[in-house]
Amino acid sequence: MAGLMSRFTTLFKVKANTMLDKAEDPGQTLDYSYQQQLEMLQKVKRGVADVVTAKKRLQLQTAKLEESVVKLDGQARQALAGNREDLARTALERKALIQGQLQGLDTQITALEQQQQNLIDQERRLSAKVESFRTQKEVVKAQYSAAEAQVRIGEATTGLGEEMSDVGLALQRAQDKTEQMQARAAAVNELVDTGAIDDLTAAPGSDLDAQIAALTAGSQVDAEMAKLRAEVGSGTPAAELGQGDAEPAKSEEESK
Amino acid sequence: MTVVRILGSGQFRLDDSDVGHLNELDNAVAAAVAAGDGAAFSRSFGALVAYVRDQGTTVPDGELVTSDHVLPAADTTLEEAREAFSGEGAIPG
């Protein structure tokens, strides 16, 4: 079995040559090559910017998921306080599922940050090499005929072709990775939004948010009712108000 | 001098006398890929990349030179390396 390096070198050179063949029109001048290199450099810059934007979006999605973990934790507490262990369990199950997904995403975002830094370094290298090509091109053009100049600058051209392929591959890897991560984050967000995770639990056809809300509203009403009863029962508020005709009337209305 | 490119990390110049050891390290990587051994791959590929970085001197940004050898990116997975051997995927396009 051949080594990984020799195998990979062959594959990569095929790719780099294809790229050069595309760029090398027989009648084309070095100036034209240089123009194409500048265009490629612009594409790379846009590509790097896109990866940066995509990473930021992923971080926002992750932050949203982190918020829902906090929310679900609160809901689990409320449910348990209201003696609804089934709802508390559902909330905790959802929380665990989201936490599992979050862990993976965090690691991947860190990896993407590293890739992004590498891409910025690569963009800088490519930029320096394109500039170097421009200088060499001017030097040989001043000394040789166009055809001779093409030959003299051959090494520079293949060297640059390699660099462009390298950056192109790195960009593609980063883009593929970003897309996979976005799909995953979106899938988890969708589960959270639709409440589809309810299907996994023992509470059939129920929406967790709605039930917790009802439970919370119920316990709030109970608590206020108890407070009002205490106030009305003791008669203190009425006494304090002196001629408090309106207050007791309102309390009676709410008690109905 | 031998020029080795690590995708995503630039080019490095090594003494020709380093190439023998480079090939030994590379064979270990190939064996790990053939065995489908993820741990052995991480170890051997990591050693290969580290050797090029440590023994080599970085080719300056503005220099235009063709590589003698090309290595996949330092964070390549066993799965991606396997694709290079099967002749598809690792180099798209």
pLDDT value of residue A157: 85
Q: What residues form DSSP beta bridges with B10?
A: B6
Residues of B in contact with A8 (CB under 8 A): 70-72, 84, 90
For residue A244, the surrounding DSSP H or E stretch is none
Q: How far apart are CA A54 and CA A62, in angstroms?
A: 12
Closest-CA residue of B relative to A129 is B62
CA neighbor of A191 nearest in space, from A98, A102, A99, A106 = A98
Q: What integer pLDDT is reported at residue A25 of this predicted model?
A: 52
For each of chain A's 256 residues, which pLDDT tens digit applies?
Answer: 578 898 889 888 888 877 666 555 544 578 888 888 899 899 889 988 988 888 888 888 889 889 888 988 988 898 888 888 888 888 888 888 888 888 888 888 888 888 888 899 999 999 999 999 999 988 988 888 877 887 888 888 888 889 989 998 888 888 888 888 888 777 777 766 665 444 333 344 456 677 777 777 777 777 777 888 888 776 554 444 445 444 444 444 444 4
Q: Specify the pLDDT at position B22.
A: 94
Interchain CB distance below 8 Å, A162 and B66 = yes
Q: What's the DSSP call for residue B69?
A: E
Q: Is residue A135 within 8 Å of residue A211, measured between CB atoms?
A: no
Confidence class for position B1, pLDDT limits 50, 70, 90: very high
B64: chain A residues, CB-CB within 8 Å: 129, 132-133, 136, 155-157, 159-160, 163
Mutate to test the interface with B, among A1, A5, A120 (most CBs of B within 10 A): A5
For residues B48-68, give the mean pLDDT: 94
Q: Does B78 touch chain A (CB under 8 A)?
A: no
ipTM for this model: 0.86
Residues B51-71 have a mean pLDDT of 94
